[in-house]
């Protein structure tokens, strides 16, 4: 199949079946859109749509926003990710709009990217959505889906953008951005694309080479996992706090050298990673579907004693995460928060667990308006019972810590699902897809 045929097939499918595809952010004018897009970085559209009505009511234009202080704006957006930086960016952006652009949101990419908080992706969204320009904003979904299908062969978002623009007819570029985002959000999801229900298989390179051809060697990540299993002997759980992981052994060489540290800091890098972005986990819980879930009991961020025995008749989403206030854990918590109404309606109770104490949990829960309990498992009893402590590597560092894992426990206390490949930003959707 030629590249031209692939593009034609994909575009024709979307033109026919998804003729209207638009941003899910709520806005009424260019000013509101640029504010919403700046806020939406590393956060869900659902959450942004919850905070912007009050913000837009009190700060209806750039002039009003420019007169505010970042501290004041922080209070409006405290439940989105990175509220401190975003508050500064919004006020800075509004000031530049007033002083350099007469209060009008510019339409050119090179002018838009001068505004604080506006990168190339945000600029492309504004240019395409507001000014109907053939600009392609490449986010994580567009990047992944385009590469998987074979529309692009890109290593960076900019390469992806240029390749897509080169092949997509101008009149469809802006809509194609939404087609690819929606397809990535609901079908071609990152961890496990739903190829069995995908309408694009006829044109998809990934489907042809990976799904149809099962004999193809697995990617590097799997090789690393196998290597890790062979070469790493996971250290026994330390009685020390999680926030001070001690450890471990070299992965890249057979010589094993233990390093310990008493400092309550991040783990020491032990091996020079050849690929710094490689991530693997050398341990997964031994608990499996069908096992009786261990009874748990601990105080939450309000000092309430929470016990699994109190939730008989409910489904428990028990999620273990490494640490409060870190980017991945924040995205995961916000994803579960945004779908909390859905979970409640389904008779689910969501409970987070980490080794942080009640005070840390309270700060984290207050900051992001988390409506569920976070258990302070400071003695790591629950973590041990659920076997989610182990050796992992991230960004070239190898250390022991909590392995991000979610257990879905049915109303009879039996484990119904174990999710070890947690997709933090869309974890709620990941759980909802199991039903």
182 contacts ligand SF4 (rule: CB under 6 A): no
Catalytic residue among 45, 86, 121, 400: 121
Binder among 3, 42, 159, 201 for ligand SF4 (CB under 6 A): 201
Q: What are phi and psi of 306, to 5 degrees?
A: -110, 130
- The span of 192-200, 212-220, 320-328, 367-375 binding ligand SF4 (CB under 6 A) equals 192-200
Question: Shortest distance, CB of residue 153 to ligand SF4, whole angstroms?
Answer: 15
Number of residues that bind ligand SF4 (CB under 6 A): 13
Q: Is 155 a catalytic residue?
A: no
Among residues 17 and 102, whose Cβ is nearest to ligand SF4? 17
195 contacts ligand SF4 (rule: CB under 6 A): yes
Question: What DSSP assignment string belongs to 281-311?
Answer: ES---S--TTSBPPP-EEE-TTS-EEEGGGG
Binder among 41, 123, 149, 419 for ligand SF4 (CB under 6 A): 149
Nearest to 365 by CA among 340, 402, 343, 394: 340
Question: Shortest distance, CB of residue 240 to ligand SF4, whole angstroms?
Answer: 43
Neighbouring-strand partners of residue 140: none
Alpha-carbon gap, residue 160 to 176, rounded angstroms = 13
What is the greatest pairwise CA distance in the chain? 65
Question: Shortest distance, CB of residue 155 to ligand SF4, whole angstroms?
Answer: 19
Q: Is 139 a catalytic residue?
A: yes
Binder among 54, 194, 230, 302 for ligand SF4 (CB under 6 A): 194
Catalytic residue among 58, 86, 114, 139: 139
Binder among 3, 42, 61, 187 for ligand SF4 (CB under 6 A): 187
Among residues 206 and 386, whose Cβ is nearest to ligand SF4? 206
Binder among 83, 193, 245, 401 for ligand SF4 (CB under 6 A): 193
Write the CA distances from 160 to 113, 157, 176, integer angstroms: 18, 5, 13
Burial 33-48 (b: 16+ CB within 10 A, else e): bbbbbbbbbebbbebb
Interface residues toward ligand SF4, by CB under 6 A: 148-149, 187-188, 193-195, 198, 200-201, 204, 206-207
- Which amino acids are annotated catalytic? 121, 139
């Amino acid at each position: 199949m030629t590249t031209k045929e692939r593009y034609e097939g994909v575009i024709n499918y979307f033109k026919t079946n998804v003729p209207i595809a638009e941003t899910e952010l709520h806005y009424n004018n260019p000013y509101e859109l640029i504010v919403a897009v700046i806020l939406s970085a590393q956060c869900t559209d659902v959450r942004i749509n919850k905070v912007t009505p009050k913000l837009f009511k009190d700060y209806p234009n750039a002039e009003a926003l420019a007169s505010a202080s970042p501290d004041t704006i922080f209070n409006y957006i405290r439940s989105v990710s990175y509220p401190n930086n975003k508050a500064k960016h919004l006020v800075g952006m509004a000031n530049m709009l007033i002083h350099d652009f007469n209060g009008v949101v510019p339409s050119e990419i090179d002018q838009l990217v001068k505004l604080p908080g506006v990168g190339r992706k945000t600029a492309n969204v504004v240019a395409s959505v507001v000014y109907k320009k053939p600009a392609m904003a490449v986010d994580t979904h567009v990047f992944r889906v385009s590469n998987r299908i074979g529309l692009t062969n890109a290593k960076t978002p900019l390469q992806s953008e240029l390749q897509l623009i080169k092949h997509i007819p101008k009149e469809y570029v802006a809509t194609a951005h939404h087609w690819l985002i929606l397809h990535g959000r609901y079908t071609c999801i990152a961890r496990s694309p739903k190829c069995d229900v995908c309408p694009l298989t006829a044109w998809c390179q990934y489907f042809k080479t990976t799904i149809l051809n099962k004999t193809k060697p697995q990617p590097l990540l799997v090789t690393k996992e196998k290597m890790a299993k062979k070469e790493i002997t996971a250290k026994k759980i330390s009685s020390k706090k999680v926030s001070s992981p001690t450890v471990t052994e070299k992965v890249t060489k057979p010589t094993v050298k233990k390093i310990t540290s008493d400092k309550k800091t991040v783990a020491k890098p032990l091996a020079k990673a050849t690929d710094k972005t490689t991530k693997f986990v050398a341990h997964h819980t031994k608990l499996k579907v069908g096992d009786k879930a261990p009874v748990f009991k601990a105080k939450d961020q309000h000092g309430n004693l929470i016990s699994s025995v109190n939730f008989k008749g409910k489904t428990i989403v028990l999620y273990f995460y490494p640490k409060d206030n870190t980017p991945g854990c924040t995205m995961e918590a916000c994803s579960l928060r945004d779908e909390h109404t859905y979970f409640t309606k389904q008779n689910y109770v969501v409970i987070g667990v980490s080794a942080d104490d009640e005070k840390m949990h309270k700060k984290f829960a207050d900051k992001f308006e988390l409506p569920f309990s976070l258990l302070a498992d400071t003695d790591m009893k629950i973590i041990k019972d659920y076997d989610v402590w182990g050796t992992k590597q991230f960004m070239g560092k190898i250390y022991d810590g909590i392995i991000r894992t979610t257990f879905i426990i049915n109303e009879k206390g039996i484990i119904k699902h174990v999710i070890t490949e947690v997709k933090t930003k869309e974890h709620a959707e990941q759980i909802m897809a199991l039903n």
